[in-house]
Amino acid sequence: MREYKIAVIEGDGIGPEIIREAIKVLDKVGEKEGFKLNYSHYLLGGVAVDKTGDPCPPETIEGALNSDAVLFGAIGGPKWDTLPKEKRPETGLLKIRKELGLFANLRPAVVFDQFVDASPLKPEVVKGVDLLVVRELTGGIYFGQPRGREENQAFNTMRYTREEIERIAHIAFKEAQKRRKKVTSIDKANVLEVSQFWREIVEEVAKNYPDVELEHMYVDNGAMQLVRNPRQFDVILTGNIFGDILSDEASMIVGSIGLLPSASIGGKVGLFEPIHGSAPDIAGKGIANPIATILSAGMMLGYLGEVEGERRIKRAVEKVLAEGHRTPDLGGNLTTQEMGDLIAKAVEEV
């Protein structure tokens, strides 16, 4: 039997609840597909601060590096908002991404036929939307130096190296080759020197993928086009801050942030998480939607080479949704556990 070591990070808020359902589904898929996942649990975020004083303890980094993949819930909450920056949960997440070398964040946004009416956009605009945002994760303005404050001003630096742009561009073009063979690179090259450099390097990388169409788009126009005609996009390639904003915009096209998974890859170990936050306002109520986490777990299986396992999870989720089952965020009344149970059962039927 094929076996894999999975580092599990539940995190804060609804993290433990949604991770529990994802593991339930993963174990059922393993039974059907003939593999076994061995889980080890680690701390990250606010719960790590409370228990160790460190938002990202060294043992969490070590455990992740010694695993085949990381399954992650969510972190943060108002309880820790007043802590110094180095103690905040978000600092822990940035640290583990950096330590694992996770430079590429993949965020698919797919509109299920059952939720065309749930989108804030008109059905004729969103029906058939299936796009992937490829966001550079460890460079750009979030990490660029120098940064700081002076008496009457504060500053951050947007900085990218050739290597950082090349490696994320290769990821985007390779993903496009699996899809509809189109990359839209989004930047602000009409204003920013770093975006002009970004565009030059992306065009160089594109020469290695003659079967993939490349177009460029300014970020302000890209934000507008995502709302105006999201079906025009296949793979969106962009930097850290633009990707952060555009991927959240794309999530709302779908109708619920509780449906969207993500993968952070590029280093020794991939990290898989829902794109939503820890939702402390509903933590412990048993009403969180686990689907984004379950689909993230499916992406993890694909990363591990268990492609049929990933497909089985997608089919199971689609079956449950097609049958009309909904959690409160989708207008239903199922609990987190009930939705997880239904998907786990559907895994055996698809």
What are the catalytic residues? 142, 188, 220, 244, 248
Alpha helices in the chain (DSSP H): 15-33, 46-52, 58-65, 89-100, 123-126, 162-178, 193-206, 219-228, 240-254, 291-303, 307-322, 336-349
Distance CA 19, CA 293 (A): 7
Closest CA to 317 of 150, 56, 108: 108
- Closest C-alpha among 264, 274, 300, 267 to residue 109: 274
The amino acid at 176: A
CA distance 284 to 212: 46
Record the tokens describing residue 240, joined without a space: 């850290």
Under DSSP, the state recorded for 115 is G
350: exposed, middle or buried (C-beta count within 10 Å: 0-12, 13-18, 19+)? middle
What is the residue type of 96? Answer: I
Q: How far is CA 30 from the centre of its chain?
A: 23
β 153-155/148-150 pair status: antiparallel
Residue 5: burial class (beta carbons within 10 Å; 0-12, 13-18, 19+): middle
First to last CA, the chain: 21
